[in-house]
Structure formats: structure tokens, C-alpha cells
Structure 1
Amino acid sequence: RCEVVAGNLLFEPWDLATEANGPYRVFSAYWRRAVARLAVPELIPAPEALPPLPPGLSGLPIDALGLLPRSRWDAGLARAWTPGEAGALARARAFVDGPLAAYGQRRDLPAVSGTSRLSPHLHFGEIGPRQVVRLIAERGLPLDDGLAEPYVRELGWREFAYHLIHHFPHTTDAPLDGRFTAFPWQDDAAQLAAWQQGRTGIPLIDAGLRELWATGWMHNRVRMAAASLLTKNLRLPWQAGARWFWDTLVDADLASNTLGWQWTAGCGADAAPYFRIFNPVRQGERFDPDGDYVRRWCPELARLPARFIHQPWAAPANVLAEAGVRLDSDYPRPIVDLAASRRAALAAWETIKGRA
């Protein structure tokens, strides 16, 4: 007998259906149905004791398994995270008591601590969304309105990701929009490596990829910009980006990773239209106006004035010299022309958009 007990999600993927009894493919419609059924969950108390292990089992101390790398490339991850239930609960309480109040205004600013950073803990089951919702409700905040609504809605995107991967399991590797099976993707290992290493010459993107490598996490606004550059400007397949995120993110969740990449690439459910191409310079100027995020992760650009921090190639020679920046030596020039590559991406879209 197999009994499913909801814990990792607020709603199991089969709990919500359209009027035609089918799966949702548009988030807004899905979330309207979900919110109508969303209630403050009653949590099951932890057991006072666990049953003993069966006799006769042998084991090893965890240190004997040699799980940690010999070269401590993971030191940044260890500094950034406190794995486990205690760390998850502490982070959730700190978020609900602090940044949640300004989440709607600050969540898109990568230089500030405006997000919950609960995604790894949710992924590994160290805390559940029901616990998070309960914490919010205990502070007297309504779930569907006011200060908490923007964050609860983001939990809804996670729910939607699981809904999609349950009903469309092939989308981990293939586009939901079948037209994209014929899309003229490019194959350029050097450009993919430059993107992975944070050496694209576009500061916001490079800062994000370097943050990812150092901490195992990347701010969501920067994730979208980085994914757009890969799939639109470089026209590299979204699966390559999804694999890199899968290998490097501490919150590498198959459902959310798939939804995010297909959304940005324009080939998934409720996807951003393909012609929506993020301009990483404008994204940086809007969401990191003083360049604090870029300065942290691209220290070679730290002395550039804010006017040029997101496009150092546009800075006059004397400004670069005063900042101690030598393009092609200290920091690369862009590996792609943003305007020309945008036109090429739109032309590629024209070749498939009329397909059935």
C-alpha cells in the first residue's frame, strides 16, 4: 500500500485541474484556483521519539565516507549556508520577521538581502512550504493580500513547476512547445565555457555566474538575465544552461529548474514570449544602479563609476585608466554584440513561429 501525504508541496500536482479536468499551462489561472483553496495548514507535531534501528546493522562514521572534496572548492558554499532543519527554521524566521515586509520592493535587487534564500532548504525537505505559510500566518499577515502576497505567490510558482513536471514529464529534456524542436540553436563550446565561467564581458551576467560558482546560488533576477543571454543572444540550447545550473546550484530542483529555463527560453508553459529578450545592461542599470552587486563579484571593475559599471566597453579610455581596468586583459570585452544578436534571435524565431 502506498499512501501519499502532502508535505513537500501545498498542493499535490493532481489536486488542481482546469474546468476541462486537464492540467494547467498558465500560471495565473493555476494560481487563482490554488489561492481559492489555500488555507493555513495545521502542522503535524514532530514525534517525541523514533523507533530504534533493527539490530545487527553495521555502519561507518560519515567522515569515513570521504564525501568532501580534497581541494576545498566548496568553502564558499560552507560559508553561505547552514544545512539542516535548524538552519532552515532559523532562516525562515529571520525572513518572516525582517525582509518579508519589503519583499515586494526589494526582491529584484541582487545587492541587498531581499529574498528568503529558502530554496535549498525547501528542495532538500529541511523545511516545507506548509511550515513557511504557517509562520507567515502566525505573524497575522494574510496570505492572499498585502505584504505577504508577493512571496506566497513565489511559492505558487514552485507549486506550478511541480504541477507541470508531473503532467509533462518529458519537459526535463524537451520543449513543451513542440515548435522549438526545430529551432536553429547554435553549438559553441567556447561561448558556453565563457558563460559558465563568468567571462562573457557583460558585468551583470559575469557577477551572477561567479556568485553561483562561489556560493551555489544566484539571485533570481540575475538568473533570468543570464538565461536570456544564453538562450537568446548566444542562441545556445536551454538544456545546456539547465545542466550547468543542475551541477552548480545548491537549490537545483528538477521541477523549478525546468520551468525557469523553459520560461526564459520561450518554449515552456506560460513562457515569456520569445521576442522578450532581456537587455543585461538595462537590467543592471535598473536593479543594480550603483553597481554594488557587480563590484562584489567582479572586483576588477570595482573602481569604475556607476555610469559605466554595467558597460565598461563604453567607458572612455581615461575613465578605464583611472579605474585600473584594461579591457581584454583585466576584463574581457563582450563575447557577443547585444543588438546584433537580438536581431539574429528574432530572425531565428521567425523560422519556427508559424509551425503547428
Structure 2
Amino acid sequence: MADTDPPRYVVSGADLSLSNQGQLELLHEMMRRGLPLRMPVRGSSMAPCIRDEDVVTVAPMDQEDPRVGQVVAFITPSLGRLALHRVISRSAEGWVVRGDGCLEADGVVTRDAMLGRVTRVERNGREVRFGEGRMGASIAWLSRTGLLLGLRSVQRTPRRLAAAVLRRLQDQRLYRTLGRRWRLRVEIFEAGEPDLQSVRRWLDTEDSGPEASRPGDLAVKDWVAKHRSKVVGSVQLVFFSNVHLEWQGYWLFSLNVRRRYRGLGIGEALTARVAEEARAQGATELLLVVSEGNEPAVRLCRKCGYTQTVVEALEPIFQAEKASHGRRRIVMRRRLDGGT
């Protein structure tokens, strides 16, 4: 990786993070004792062999030198972070390591910087191949010659076409009707910190900070929709308690559903869960903001009982946004007390 590029494949902070020196020392100690360590990982720089939220087992290197093609856990030379990438060649100073999906190598990694090697990868509870032995050596050669990314680009083309077709289908009423009859098994939970980390990685957003850093007049609750333990949707209920604010009250924020799961009723279920919670807290109405040109989102809101309204204090902001980039947001409201 280049110095300007943050690590794209680091151990999940929930289990191991270099921000916690004790955790890193534990990994060193387990490797020293010859004990394997099983842990989740995040990022996409080793995809498709190792994917975001896979669980890997890291075993000690023992006295052996790493072999070309092996996936190793190491400390990156440029940023001093823990990463899992593939050894693609040997040099006089050490080993050249690179993620299967990275444009650049991480540089030369010395033997002392290597903590262990990946021996097992699990995805959704099942062991999967990640490129070992001859296959790993072949992947390393393709990576070294620059052919690997070219092959991945060719491989992605049918997927991109399929994604475009899926987006068209999801806009069709028949697709949504069949999707609801199919009844994909999805459960909605109040989000814990691991769920929030998963949502941030999915949406590629930064952590907003600990709960204590939020203003005293702002209360936030998060929910996630899960299919087979995978987060496929998320939503927030935000309560502005300051009565001096024109937008004081309950708001639905950050409704998101993964692309391939849209049109299956997940957005409606998340919206209903937020409305249920707001009503339980004594709210008489629930508001949200949506882009005026986002027709699928506007249709969903209307279907869930929302109608367009105006919050005067927000209008100057929306007008400025429209003048800046041509898109305008609107406020929609749903009565929770049976009123209109």
C-alpha cells in the first residue's frame, strides 16, 4: 500500500486492534506459544479469496520462512498496522506482500514483522478456499505480473451487467410483489456496537464518536435488519428534545438497504420498527428527509403513510443545496396518533 492509502484489510477492532496494545501483545504471545488465533477481519483488499467479515485462523510461522503464495498476518511497513495479505515474491531484504485486490504492494516486509500465516477461512459458518499451495503460488504470479487485477476486471463485467439488470427489476411492481411473497427471512434488532461497525464499513463512513460526545438534547437509537447474521439494512430514530428548535421532535434518519435486497420489504419493516418505537415514546408524528428526485425512496415513504410537509427553518439549507448541486431535499411527515 502507498503511504497515502490507509490499510484496507485490518483486523476488526472488536477483537484485535493496534489501538489496543494489550490486544496486539496477546497475538504476539499466542504466536510465541505456538497457539492459533481465530478472528474476524474486515476490508476488501483480499477479495474474493477473503472477504469482509470472514473469520480467519492465524497460525504461528514456527521456524519456517513464508512461502510465495501464502497469506500472512504482518505489520505494514508504512503505517505500522496489522494486515492480512499474500506473499508475492522474495527479495534480498525480505518478502514483497500485496493484497489480491490492491493496485500496489505493501513494500518489503521483514521476517520479524510477520506474525503468522492464515490457515483457514470461514464464511457464514463454512470453510472456504482462499488460495493455498499451488493455487496460492499461481495467484501470487498473476499479482506480480499485473494480470490478476485485469482478470478481476473482466470477471466483474458480467456482475456489473447483472447489477444493472437487477436495479431495473427492483423498480418493477411485479418484482416487489414476488419478493414479498418469497418472504426472505430477515430479522430486525436494536444495533450493538459490532452491528454499527458493520454498517459503517458497508456505507464507508467514519465513526461518529462515542455516545457521550453527542449533544445532550439529541437521542439516537439504531436498528439493523439481518439475513443469516449479515447486516442487510439499517435505520436510526433521532429525537431532538430542545423545544426551541423548529425541528424538535422525532426523526427517521439513515434508512439504508443493501442493493441486492431492495424491493423485498426490508425498508418497510425498518420504517415500521422506528414508527413503533417513536409511538412507544409518546411521539405523535415522525419526520424524515429524502431527496426529491429519489423516486423509489419517495414511493416507499408514501406507501408507509408519509406526506410531504415543510419545516421553514430547513428551507434555506435545502435551497442552497439545490443551487449548489442541483438536488433538493424535502421533509415528509407521518402522523402516529391517527390525525392528518
Interval containing the TM-score (normalised by the shorter chain): under 0.3
Please report the TM-score for the alignment, with normalisation by the length of structure 2.
0.21
The structure with more strand, counted as a fraction of residues: 2
For the pair shown, the structure with the greater C-alpha radius of gyration is 2
